[in-house]
């Protein structure tokens, strides 16, 4: 889901030839789920009609403090209310005239009055001919606005409406919407933090068609990955072979088959990861050798003996690599003495926390959409999470890791 979903965006449109692109920008913002209120200058109305913008935004477009038809009723457009309503304000296109008014605080029209009243983050996308853009007055105004915290969405270089080629084209509507999303993601608590997760089963092949494996769906790990993504994390999921439908949008995924593949993917991504969560159901053993061709049913005897050897211990390997900035969480599944094994595992594997799956209850385990767990931390704390959906549990666990490991402050 776009970070612009449900956001209130004030779009100021001023008198540049690029104003025709503001119709496209309204559509783009609405497509990403934003509510859009357009405020337009008189000059901009020569380039794009308020009717087009109000139809696309499904809201009246405001231009004057008191529109002609409002005069008889003493009604006016409250610039202060609009400034307070918005989560974000973007002026696109921002003409050189409007940039200059913004820089000096002139407010002789509704757009600049709303700008002065706005409490939300404000962005401006300058659009003008190359010489207007290159003029020292314009660049000084842009500098002043940047110093005051206005986010300048830089103009593009290219062919201009005048036929000249240079810098001054308004950034494309998609790029403006992306810029706003990037800003919103930079305000999220895990922004810039890498979160590494493994999930799903591993398949240890006996021959080209058969393997030792398990029914893990990867749903629990994918839920934690989605929660980390939604909080702005840079999420990398190392996923074993699963057919489950998982929400992997915006998550970097490395698909692996065996425990050995999973180990090398995790090791190569671990060092710069702030939080690593190992919830894959990794096979403990693998065949000592893999047959080159399918093993045939033999006519002699009733049994087949396969020699197995241990697979690498991923959590333990990462525990040995762990530095001060890496928080490492492992999942455990025990059929008896769960708490005691989980606490031993915590120390033995040098983990920061262990999540113990509850066993033997309806609705918990591998292929279900729900789960119930307890968490034991290296600081000696225990947290219990009652039966809930894996999606909700993923969020709760991530919030716990963030607060226990101070992840948003680090
Ligand atoms: C055809 C035409 C194209 C224009 N294109 C631009 C432009 O791209 N950028 C700009 O800053 N001004 C441009 N102008 C000048 C502005 O429209 C003018 O400075 C106006 O006063 C801006 O008012 P506003 O900032 O209140 O919208 C253009 C004028 C005309 C007639």
pLDDT of the chain, 410 residues: tens digit per residue: 789 999 999 999 999 999 999 999 999 999 999 999 999 999 999 999 999 999 999 999 999 887 777 777 777 777 778 888 999 999 999 999 999 999 999 999 999 999 999 999 999 999 999 999 999 999 999 999 999 999 999 999 988 877 878 899 999 999 999 999 999 999 999 999 999 999 999 999 999 999 999 989 999 999 999 999 999 999 999 999 999 999 899 899 999 999 999 999 999 999 999 999 999 999 999 999 999 999 998 888 899 999 999 999 999 999 999 999 899 999 998 888 889 999 999 999 999 999 998 776 777 766 788 889 999 999 999 999 999 999 999 999 999 999 999 887 65
Residue nearest to atom 17 of ligand 1 (CA): 15
Ligand 1 centroid, distance to 14 Cα (angstroms): 8
Give the pairing type, strands 275-278 and 122-126: unpaired
Residue of 214, 215, 234, 350 marked active site: 214
Confirm or reject: Cβ of 96 under 6 Å from ligand 1: yes
Q: Establish whether 302 is a catalytic residue.
A: no
Residue 15 alpha carbon, nearest atom of ligand 1: 27
Q: Do domains 8-186 and 194-404 have the same CATH topology?
A: yes
Give yes or no for a contact between 381 and 404, defined as CB atoms under 8 angstroms apart. Answer: yes
Q: 8-186 has which fold?
A: Rossmann fold (3.40.50)
Ligand 1 centroid, distance to 90 Cα (angstroms): 18
Ligand 1 centroid, distance to 99 Cα (angstroms): 11
pLDDT at 357: 87
Q: 194-404 has which fold?
A: Rossmann fold (3.40.50)
Confirm or reject: Cβ of 16 under 6 Å from ligand 1: yes
Confirm or reject: Cβ of 17 under 6 Å from ligand 1: yes
Ligand 1 centroid, distance to 138 Cα (angstroms): 13
Residue nearest to atom 3 of ligand 1 (CA): 17
pLDDT at 366: 66
pLDDT at 369: 83
Ligand 1 centroid, distance to 71 Cα (angstroms): 28
For a ligand 1 pocket test, name from 15, 100, 107 the mutation site with the most ligand atoms within 8 angstroms of its C-beta.
15
Confirm or reject: Cβ of 106 under 6 Å from ligand 1: no
Residue nearest to atom 5 of ligand 1 (CA): 16
pLDDT at 299: 84
Region of 350 on the Ramachandran plot (φ > 0 left; ψ -120 to 50 alpha; else beta): left
Residue nearest to atom 14 of ligand 1 (CA): 16
Domain boundaries, the chain: 8-186, 194-404
Give yes or no for a contact between 26 and 36, defined as CB atoms under 8 angstroms apart. Answer: yes
Confirm or reject: Cβ of 234 under 6 Å from ligand 1: no
Confirm or reject: Cβ of 273 under 6 Å from ligand 1: no
Confirm or reject: Cβ of 180 under 6 Å from ligand 1: no
Confirm or reject: Cβ of 44 under 6 Å from ligand 1: yes
Residue nearest to atom 2 of ligand 1 (CA): 17
Residue nearest to atom 22 of ligand 1 (CA): 15
* Residue whose C-alpha is closest to residue 92's, from 151, 170, 5, 150: 170
For a ligand 1 pocket test, name from 18, 19, 91, 97 the mutation site with the most ligand atoms within 8 angstroms of its C-beta.
97
């Amino acid at each position: 889901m776009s970070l612009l979903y449900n956001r209130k965006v004030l779009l100021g449109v001023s008198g540049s030839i690029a104003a025709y692109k503001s119709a496209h920008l309204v559509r783009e913002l609405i497509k990403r789920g934003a509510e859009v209120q357009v405020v337009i200058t008189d000059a901009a109305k020569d380039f794009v009609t308020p009717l087009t913008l109000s139809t696309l935004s499904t809201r009246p477009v405001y231009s004057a403090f008191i529109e002609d038809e409002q005069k008889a009723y003493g009604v006016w457009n409250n610039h202060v209310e609009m400034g307070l309503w918005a989560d974000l304000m973007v002026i696109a296109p921002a003409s050189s005239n409007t940039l200059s008014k913004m820089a000096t605080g002139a407010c002789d029209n509704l757009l600049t009055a709303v700008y002065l009243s706005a409490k939300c983050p404000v962005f401006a996308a300058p659009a003008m001919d190359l010489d207007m853009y290159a003029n020292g007055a314009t660049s000084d105004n842009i500098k002043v606005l940047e110093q005051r915290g206005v986010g300048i969405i830089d103009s593009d270089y290219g062919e201009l409406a005048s036929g000249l080629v240079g810098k001054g084209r308004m950034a494309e509507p998609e790029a403006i919407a992306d810029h706003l999303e990037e800003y919103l993601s930079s305000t999220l608590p895990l922004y810039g933090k890498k979160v590494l997760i493994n999930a799903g089963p591993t398949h240890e092949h006996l021959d080209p068609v058969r393997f030792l494996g398990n029914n893990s769906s990867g749903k629990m790990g994918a839920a934690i990955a989605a929660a980390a993504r939604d909080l702005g994390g840079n999420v990398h999921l190392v996923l074993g072979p699963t057919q489950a439908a998982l929400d992997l949008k915006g998550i970097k995924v490395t698909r692996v088959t065996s425990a050995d593949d999973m180990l090398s993917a995790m090791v190569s991504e671990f060092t710069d990861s702030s939080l690593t969560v190992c919830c894959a159901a990794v096979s403990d053993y693998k065949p000592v050798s893999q047959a080159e061709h399918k093993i045939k049913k033999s006519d002699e005897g009733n049994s087949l003996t396969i020699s197995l050897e241990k697979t690498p211990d991923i959590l333990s390997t990462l525990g040995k690599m762990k530095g001060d900035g890496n928080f490492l969480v492992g999942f455990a599944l025990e059929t008896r003495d769960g708490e005691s094994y989980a606490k031993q595992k915590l120390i033995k594997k040098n983990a920061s926390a262990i999540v113990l799956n509850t066993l033997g209850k309806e609705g918990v385990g591998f292929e279900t959409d729900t789960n119930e767990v307890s968490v034991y931390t290296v600081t000696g704390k225990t947290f219990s999470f009652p039966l809930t959906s894996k999606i909700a549990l993923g969020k709760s666990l991530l919030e716990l890791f963030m607060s226990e490991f101070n992840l948003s402050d680090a």
